[in-house]
Amino acid sequence: MARSIPGRRACGAPSASCCRQGHRSRCSGGPELITLYNDAYRLVFGGKHPQALGQPIREAWSELWRAGLKALFENVLATGEAFWAQDRPFYMERNGFPEETFFDVSYDPVRDESGRVGGVFCIVSETTGRVVGERRLKVLRDLGSVAAQAHSAAEAWALSAGALASAPLDLPFADAHLDDRTGWPIGLHDVAAPKHCMATAPGPWPEPAHSLMVLPLGERAGESGGKLALGVSSRLPFDDSYRGFF
């Protein structure tokens, strides 16, 4: 790379280590805390790469800086004490939307020749898949437990509603339309108006759900038992893992 990146000198040896090691690592140094990172860390930045390389950390991770990263950096720089955390949540805009993510992180002070702390060296390991997978598995276990107690479709939904309501991060809303054997609706809510569902902002986030899944309920011998509409989180990618959850 032809351009000079001022943070390289401030990061010193950690900068060289950052480029060599396989861990996802980043170093921010100098008065502006210029950002350097290795190839493995590119996946963390996502669509922010390569623009983030050589930017001040407050610009490279502007959304995280405002949400607590600034205070974390200031503490490491002021005290010279390292910080680490497991499964720490970050809401980063690396793929065009505020995304719920989790990381194991460590932030270590970088000292210059005089012994003064002049930068922060960071190593991360993304744990989003495990954290989200474990909480979804809990929802499925809870649903299986309450379903075993039900004696009718209506009772099953009534019991299941509590389990679904306890998972707003993955299921921002759930709407059911149940039919009895004659085809007359006996359920709680009609799901024939998805526009209304998606125009609201249920769940923990200010953004409304961007998608929903409509699933058949209790189909037997060609007869439908109704439909269940489940909201998709606006802060998670609707990938194969998410589809498998439904």
The first and second tokens of residue 55, run together, are 């930017």
Q: Closest Cα partner for 243 from 208, 206, 207, 215?
A: 215
Domain termination residue (choose one: 126, 155, 175): 126
Kindly state whether residue 222 falls inside one of the protein's structural domains: yes
Contact 18, 121 (CB under 8 A): yes
Q: Residue 230: enclosing H or E segment and its boundaries?
A: strand 226-232
The domain that holds 119 is classified in CATH as 3.30.450.20
Residues 17 and 117 in one domain: yes
User: Is residue 192 situated within a structural domain?
Assistant: yes
Range(s) of the domain holding residue 151: 142-245
**Residue 36 · residue 5 · CB < 8 Å:** yes
My answer on whether 12 and 78 are in the same domain is: yes
User: Is the CB of residue 61 less than 8 Å from the CB of residue 16?
Assistant: no
122 and 153 inside one domain: no
pTM over 0.85: no
What are the start-end ranges of the E strands in 165-225?
174-178, 211-216
Q: How many domains does the chain have?
A: 2
* Residue type at position 145: S
Do 49 and 153 fall within a single domain?
Answer: no
Q: What is the pLDDT along the chain (246 residues), one digit of tens a residue?
A: 334 455 555 565 555 555 556 789 999 999 999 999 999 999 999 999 999 999 999 999 999 999 999 999 999 999 999 999 999 999 999 999 999 999 999 999 999 888 899 999 999 999 999 999 999 999 999 988 887 887 876 677 778 888 888 899 999 988 877 665 444 443 444 333 344 343 344 678 888 887 888 888 765 555 556 788 888 999 999 999 999 998
